[in-house]
Amino acid sequence: MILLDGKKVSTELKNTIAKDVSKMIADGKPVPHLTAVLVGKDGASETYVNHKEKDCHEVGFRSTVLRFPDTIDQERLLDEIRRINADSDVSGLIVQLPLPKHISEQKVIETISPDKDVDGFHPLNAGKMLLGLPSFVSATPAGILELLKYYGVETSGKNCAVLGRSNIVGRPMANLLSQKSYPGDCTVTICHSRTKNLKDVCLQADILIAALGSPEFVGADMIKHGAVVVDVGITRVPAATKSGFRLLGDVKFDEVAAKASYITPVPGGVGPMTRVALMKNTLAAAQKIYSR
Ligand code: GUN
């Protein structure tokens, strides 16, 4: 079994991005600048945004975090997004999800300029991705493809099961793996809460992507011998630790690792790859804006 070490790979990719930033500065170009908008006080979202800020500093980007109370009204938030869209100093903009219930996530996403939408959530980017056209691709699926590529995992003609149909992970992941490319050329099945014979579908999978958010849902009895297993799940469960929780993936790591050919750990697998994919998108956004 080979560990798909997202921490190691993301460190290498961050070094490459840092070199590109140094070159941009040497060429007299502005440094990429990511602005993250955070509404409310969700613990996981706070952590994610703090990580993104740290990553920006590591690769040499400017980083701004705009925090708003969860009482902010939708129009005020949309005005803020329009202001950032118009700010030529900002190359990438993300609004951390989830948002409070009184705010339409879709309206927020559609207000972000597609040129700055480094999350790849805007329908224009999602649509282009679906058609195989150049676009910002949602960071988690983009990071997973980078990881499979780094390890030279064979994908052509493989059966792939994607567990979960979210707009952020499952749907784009399934589409990308079905595209005529590498990594890709897979025969993909998207599974979800209504899927019948889920276990049978999983047992047919040469590549299994678990993105359900159900801690330890996938056991060894669902895995084909030699399968490639990618665990996107990262759920906080209460535990007697300093933070009061521990992180669990969607996969029962020890028993599944014994059957898998490749597997991602949690943490240290998909998470760091997602983060570096966002940095890559932000670099690409800046390069496009500043080459005009
Ligand atoms: N919430 C969970 N994942 C993400 C992500 O990739 N981007 C944003 N903006 N919010 C998220």
Query: What homologous superfamily does CATH list for 139-271?
Result: NAD(P)-binding Rossmann-like Domain (3.40.50.720)
Tell me if 94 CB under 6 Å of ligand 1.
Answer: yes
Q: Which CATH architecture has domain 30-113?
A: 3-Layer(aba) Sandwich (3.40)
Answer yes or no: 179 catalytic: no
**Sequence ranges of the chain with CATH classification 3.40.50.720:** 139-271
- Atom 1 in ligand 1: residue holding the nearest Cα: 97
Of 265, 259, 229, the closest CA to residue 247 belongs to 265
The segment(s) of the chain belonging to CATH 3.40.50.10860 are 30-113
pTM over 0.85, yes/no = yes
User: Is-catalytic flag, 96?
Assistant: yes
Q: What is the pLDDT along the chain (292 residues), one digit of tens a residue?
A: 999 999 999 999 999 999 999 999 999 999 999 999 999 999 999 999 999 999 999 999 999 999 999 999 999 999 999 999 999 999 999 999 999 999 999 999 999 999 999 999 999 999 999 999 999 999 999 999 999 999 999 999 999 999 999 999 999 999 999 999 999 999 999 999 999 999 999 999 999 999 999 999 999 999 999 999 999 999 999 999 999 999 999 999 999 999 999 999 999 999 999 999 999 999 999 999 888 7
